[in-house]
Amino acid sequence: MSASGTLVRLNAADIVVRLSAFDTVVYLIYIAAAACFVLGLHLMNSPVTARRGNQLSAAGMIAAIAATFAQLIHHHATITATGWIVVLAGIVVGSAAGLYSARTVKMTAMPQLVSLFNAVGGGAAAIVAINDFVKLATAPGSPSVAGTVAVATALDVLIGAVTFTGSLIAAGKLQGVVSGAPISYPGSRVVNALLAVVMVGAAVWLMTGTGNIAVLVVLLLAACGFGVTMVLPIGGADMPVVISLLNAFTGTAVAMAGFVINNPVLITAGALVGASGSILTKLMADAMNRSIPAIIIGGFGTGDTAGGAAIGAGAGVRTVDADDAAIQLAYAQKVIIVPGYGLAAAQAQNEVQTLAELLEAKGVDVTYAIHPVAGRMPGHMNVLLAEANVPYSQLKEMDEINPDFPRADVALVIGANDVTNPAARRPGNLISGMPILDVDHAKAIIVVKRSMGHGYAGLDNELYYDPKTTMYFADAKRALTEMAAAVKTLVG
C-alpha cells in the first residue's frame, strides 16, 4: 500500500509517528464536524432552537466535506482526470436531485422522501465497502481482505443493501406505486428465509477473510432481494415503524463504512443515526402495541383502507349534524381536537385550522392532542398541522394532554380510531396495553369518521357507543368545512 494510502486511512496507530500536519488538521476538522452533529441534534430538543441545530449540523457537514476535498487535492497524485470528473459530476447531479426533491416535496409525502434518503444513504455506504473490497482483492500482491476489516465490510454491504432495496419498496408503498396492503404469495416466507440464509452465509464467509469477489456478489444480491421480501409483506399502517427501523439500518451501515475506511466522522455520524433510529423504532412499536419482530414477519397490519367489515351506522350509536356540532363547539370553553391519519388522508389540515381559528375568535380554548403514531412516520401529524399554521404551543403530546381531557367540554376526534379506544385499558384484546388518548374522559365527544369501519386492529371502538359520544359520518374535509360554515352562520 502506498504511503499516501496509509495516510488517507488515518490509521490511529500511526498518528503519533506518521500523520502529517495536513492529515492532523483534517482529522481535527472531522472531530469538530462530529461535535457539530451531536450539538445539532441536542438543539432539536425544542422548536425554539431546532432550526439553529439544523444549521449547526449543516455547518459541520460543510466543514467535513471541505476537509475531504482538501484531502483529495492534497493527495491528487493518485487521482485520474476521470476520477475527478466522475466524483464532481456525481456530487452535482446528486445535489441537484436532492435539492429539487427537498424543495418540491409535499409535507404529506415526507415519509416517502425520508425513505428515499435512507435508500441512497444505505446504498452509498454499501458502495464504499464494495469499492474497498474490490480494490484490496484485485490489487497485485496485496494482503487478502481479512480480519476486522472483513467483518465491517460484510456488515456494511449486508445492511446497506437491505436498506437500499427495503427503503425503495417502503417509499413505493407510501407513494402508492407499490400496493400499501401486505403483499404475500405462496411460499413467500420460505423465499424470505432462504434469502436470509444465503445472505448471512455469504456474510460469514466474507468475515472469515477467505471470501472472494464472487462471494461478495452473492451477498449483495441476496441482501438486495431480502430488502424487497422483508418490506413487501408489511402493511401501510406499520410504516412508521418500518421507516424508523430502516433509518437505524442506514446509520449502522454508514458507521460500518467508517470502520472499513477507518474514518472517525463516519463512525460517529452513523452511530448517532443508528441510536436515533432505534429509539424511534422502539417508541413507534410501543405506541402501536406491536413487537418489532411481529411487524417484520408481517401479515397483521393492513393497508390504508383499514380492514374489518363496516357495520351499520345505526347499531347503537348517535349521530349529530353540522349545526348541533357547531353549537356544542362554539359554546364550549375548552375543545381538544384529536387528529388521526384520516385527517391527513383527506388533506383537511387547513380546514381544521380554519375551524379552530373561528372557535378561538369566540374565546374557546383549542388544543390538539397528538398520538405518537398519528400520521405515516414519527411526529408526522405535527408537521402537517404546523404547515397549516397551527402554532406549536397548541400541539400537545399524549402524556401532556391526557390529564386535560376531563376538563374538555368537547373532544373532536377526526379520523383517529384505535388510539382512542378505551378497550386498550382492559386486558385480553388486540390493543390491550396500547397507550391511548383519554378521549372518553371528555364531557362530550364528537367523532368525524367516514363510516363505522374498523381501525387497523380490526376492533370495534367502544368510544363510539359511549352515551357522551355523537358521530358525524363524513369525509374529514367536508365535515370540517360544514362545521366551520355552521359556526359562522349560527354564532358568528
Q: Which residues are catalytic?
A: 418
3-state helix, strand, coil in the chain (%, to 5): 65, 5, 30
Give the C-alpha separation, 64 to 60, whole Å.
Answer: 6
185 Cβ partners below 8 Å, 6+ apart?
Answer: none
Tell me the closest approach of the beta carbon of residue 466 to another protein, in angstroms.
27
Q: How many C-beta atoms lie closer than 10 Å to residue 18's C-beta? A: 12
The footprint of another protein on residues 145-184 (CB under 8 A) is 148
Tell me the closest approach of the beta carbon of residue 75 to another protein, in angstroms.
6
**3-class secondary-structure state, position 270:** helix
The footprint of another protein on residues 358-387 (CB under 8 A) is 370, 372, 375, 377-380, 382-383, 386-387
Q: For another protein, which is the closer residue by CB, 297 or 345?
A: 345
The footprint of another protein on residues 121-140 (CB under 8 A) is 121, 123-125, 127-128, 130-131, 134-135
| Binding flag, residue 227, another protein (CB under 8 A) | no
| Binding flag, residue 272, another protein (CB under 8 A) | yes
Binding range to another protein, per CB under 8 A, among 44-52, 215-223, 292-300, 484-492: 44-52
**3-class secondary-structure state, position 176:** coil
Residues shown for the chain = 492
Strand partners, 448: 414, 472
- Cα 351 to Cα 210, 309, 358, 446: the distances in Å are 63, 29, 11, 16
Tell me the closest approach of the beta carbon of residue 250 to another protein, in angstroms.
5
Buried-state track 372-392, b at ≥16 Cβ within 10 A, e below 16: bbbbbbbbbbbbbbeebebee
> What single-letter amino acid sits at 229?
T
Tell me the closest approach of the beta carbon of residue 224 to another protein, in angstroms.
14
| Binding flag, residue 281, another protein (CB under 8 A) | no
Per DSSP, 477 falls in state H
Whether the Cβ atoms of residue 430 and residue 457 lie closer than 8 Å to each other: yes
**3-class secondary-structure state, position 382:** helix
CA 152 vs. chain centroid, Å, equals 25
Q: For another protein, which is the closer residue by CB, 131 or 319?
A: 131
**3-class secondary-structure state, position 285:** helix
Binding range to another protein, per CB under 8 A, among 119-127, 330-338, 418-426, 459-467: 119-127
Number of H helices, E strands in the chain: 18, 6
| Binding flag, residue 429, another protein (CB under 8 A) | no
Binding residues for another protein, rule CB under 8 A, total: 131
| Binding flag, residue 315, another protein (CB under 8 A) | no
Whether the Cβ atoms of residue 447 and residue 413 lie closer than 8 Å to each other: yes
Helix or strand run (H / E) with residue 414: strand 410-414
Whether the Cβ atoms of residue 129 and residue 152 lie closer than 8 Å to each other: yes
Q: How many C-beta atoms lie closer than 10 Å to residue 93's C-beta? A: 10
Tell me the closest approach of the beta carbon of residue 59 to another protein, in angstroms.
4
Here the cell at position 362 is 369566540
Binding range to another protein, per CB under 8 A, among 227-235, 266-274, 299-307, 429-437: 266-274
Q: For another protein, which is the closer residue by CB, 253 or 452?
A: 253
| Binding flag, residue 433, another protein (CB under 8 A) | no
Q: For another protein, which is the closer residue by CB, 94 or 406?
A: 94
> Among residues 6, 25, 32, 59, which is the contact residue for another protein, using CB under 8 A?
59
10 Å CB burial of residue 104 (0-12, 13-18, 19+) is exposed
Tell me the closest approach of the beta carbon of residue 89 to another protein, in angstroms.
6
Binding range to another protein, per CB under 8 A, among 85-93, 227-235, 301-309, 337-345: 85-93
> Among residues 243, 317, 322, 358, which is the contact residue for another protein, using CB under 8 A?
243
Strand partners, 472: 448
Q: For another protein, which is the closer residue by CB, 110 or 424?
A: 110
Tell me the closest approach of the beta carbon of residue 3 to another protein, in angstroms.
13
Strand partners, 334: 365
| Binding flag, residue 73, another protein (CB under 8 A) | no
| Binding flag, residue 266, another protein (CB under 8 A) | yes
* Residue that the C-alpha cell 480480519 belongs to: 147
Binding range to another protein, per CB under 8 A, among 195-203, 225-233, 256-264, 432-440: 256-264
